[in-house]
Amino acid sequence: MKLGQFEFLKYVFRSKRQVYLDHNATTSVSRRVRHTMNRILKYHYGNPSSLYKIAGRSAGLIEQARHRVADAIHADPLEVCFTGCATESNNAVLKSLSTYFLPKKKKIISSPIEHHSVINTLEYLKTQGITVEYCPLDRWGRVLLPELEKQLDEDTFLLCCVLANNETGVIQDIAAITGMAHQHDVLVLADCVQALGKIPVDVHEWGIDYASFSAHKLHGPKGVGALYVKQGSPFTALLHGGHQESGMRAGTESVHNIAGFGAACKDVGRLLARSNRIRALKNDMVQRLKAIKPDCMVNSPQADEESLPNTLSITFNGIENTELMAALNYRGIAVSAGSACTTGDNKPSHVLKAIGLSDEAARETIRISLGCGTSAQDIRYTARVVQDHLEGQRPLLVNRIAPAQLDETILFDDRTYILDIRSPGERRKSKSLPNSHEVNPFKLKKYLHQLPKDKHIIVVCPGGGHSFIIAYYLKSQGFKNVSDVRGGLESWKILRSDLYRKYAGQNITAV
Ligand code: PLP
pLDDT, tens digit, for every residue of 339-384? 544 445 567 899 999 999 999 999 999 999 999 999 999 999 999 9
Angle, CA of 126, 129 and 134, to the nearest 5°: 45
Residue 38 near residue 167, CB atoms below 8 Å: no
Atom of ligand 1 nearest to the CA of 166: 5
| Side chain identity, residue 471 | A
CB of 162 within 6 A of ligand 1: the answer is yes
User: Per-residue pLDDT for 105 more than 50?
Assistant: yes
Give the per-residue pLDDT at 341. 45
Q: Work out the average pLDDT over 454-466.
A: 91
Given a cut of 70, is residue 10 above it in pLDDT? no
CB of 198 closer than 6 angstroms to any ligand 1 atom: no
- What's residue 511's pLDDT? 81
According to the model, what pLDDT value does residue 361 have?
A: 96
Residue 11's pLDDT band, with cuts at 50, 70 and 90, is very low
Residues assigned a catalytic role? 341
Report phi then psi at 131, rounded to 5.
-100, 130
pLDDT category of residue 5 using cuts at 50, 70 and 90:
low
For residue 305, give every residue at least 6 positions away whose Cβ sits within 8 Å of its Cβ, in sequence order, or none.
171
Rounded CA-CA distance 339/116 in Å is 9
Tell me: the pLDDT tens digits for 218-270?
A: 999 999 999 999 999 999 999 999 999 999 999 999 999 999 999 999 999 99
Contact (CB, 8 A) for 320 and 486? yes
Q: What's the CA gap between 248 and 246, in Å, rounded?
A: 5
177 CA to middle of ligand 1, Å? 21
Q: Answer whether 168 contacts ligand 1 (Cβ < 6 A).
A: no
Q: Which amino acid is at 387?
A: Q
- Cβ of 166 closer than 6 Å to ligand 1, yes or no, is yes
Is ligand 1 within 6 A of the CB of residue 436? Answer: no
HSE-CB of 323 using CA atoms within 13 angstroms: 25
Which is nearest to 477 in space by CA: 18, 16, 4, 14? 14
- Does ligand 1 have an atom closer than 6 angstroms to the CB of 191? yes
Q: What percent of the chain has pLDDT over 90?
A: 80
Taking each helix axis as running N to C, give the angle between helix 255-266 and helix 31-43, from 0 to 180 degrees, rounded to the nearest 10: 150
- Residue 465 pLDDT > 90: no
Q: Is the CB of 117 under 6 A from ligand 1?
A: yes
Q: What is the pLDDT of residue 12?
A: 52
Distance 99 CA to ligand 1 centre (A): 23
Domains and CATH numbers, the chain: 16-21+274-390 (3.90.1150.10), 31-270 (3.40.640.10), 400-510 (3.40.250.10)
Per-residue pLDDT tens digits for 149-192: 999 999 999 999 999 999 999 999 999 999 999 999 999 999 99
- Rounded CA gap, 283 and 311, in Å? 10
**Which of 122, 160, 193 is the pocket-test mutation for ligand 1 (most atoms within 8 Å of CB)?**
193
Mean pLDDT of 391-417: 86
- Ligand 1 centroid–CA 376 distance in Å is 28
Mutate to test the pocket of ligand 1, among 26, 82, 87 (most ligand atoms within 8 A of CB): 87
For residue 130, pLDDT over 60 is answered with yes
Q: Which helix (H) or strand (E) holds 42?
A: helix 31-43
What would the mean pLDDT of 86-115 be, rounded to a whole number?
A: 98
Edge-to-edge strand list for the sheet holding 436-438:
399-401, 482-485, 456-460, 416-420, 436-438, 509-510
Q: Is 416 in the pocket of ligand 1 (CB under 6 A)?
A: no
Q: Does the structure show a pLDDT above 80 at 50?
A: yes
pLDDT at 45: 95
Per-residue model confidence (pLDDT) at position 215: 98
CB 339 near ligand 1, within 6 Å: yes
Length, in residues, of the chain: 511
Helix, strand, coil tally for the chain in percent (to 5): 45, 15, 40
Q: What is the pLDDT of residue 441?
A: 82
pLDDT at 132 over 80: yes
Amino acid at 246: S
Statement: residue 311 has pLDDT above 70: yes
Q: Is the CB of 111 under 6 A from ligand 1?
A: no
- Max CA pair span of the chain: 73
Q: Rounded mean pLDDT of 300-315? A: 96
DSSP 3: G
CA of 85, closest atom in ligand 1:
15
Atom of ligand 1 nearest to the CA of 87: 16
| 214 CA: nearest ligand 1 atom | 15
Residue nearest to atom 12 of ligand 1 (CA): 86
Evaluate whether 365 touches 299 at the Cβ level (below 8 Å).
yes
Residue 227 CB–ligand 1 contact under 6 Å? no
Rounded distance from Cα 451 to ligand 1 centre (Å): 38
Instruction: Kindly report the average pLDDT of the chain as a whole number.
Output: 93
Arithmetic mean of pLDDT, 461-469: 87
Distance (Å) from CA 483 to ligand 1 centroid:
33
Residue 1: what pLDDT?
A: 43
Cα 275 to ligand 1 centroid, rounded to whole Å: 20
Whether residue 27 has its Cβ less than 6 Å from ligand 1: no
| Residue ID of nearest Cα to ligand 1 atom 8 | 25
Residue 90 Cα: closest atom of ligand 1: 10
Question: Does residue 115 line the site of ligand 1, with CB under 6 A?
Answer: yes
* Amino acid symbol at 195: A
Per cent of the chain over pLDDT 70 is 94
Q: Closest by alpha carbon to 224, among 33, 24, 20?
A: 33
**Cα-to-centroid distance, 86 and ligand 1 (Å):** 6
Q: From the CA of 120, how far away is ligand 1's center (Å)?
A: 13
Atom of ligand 1 nearest to the CA of 86: 15
Q: What is the torsional sign of CA 55, 60, 66, 72?
A: negative
d(CA 74, CA 82): 16
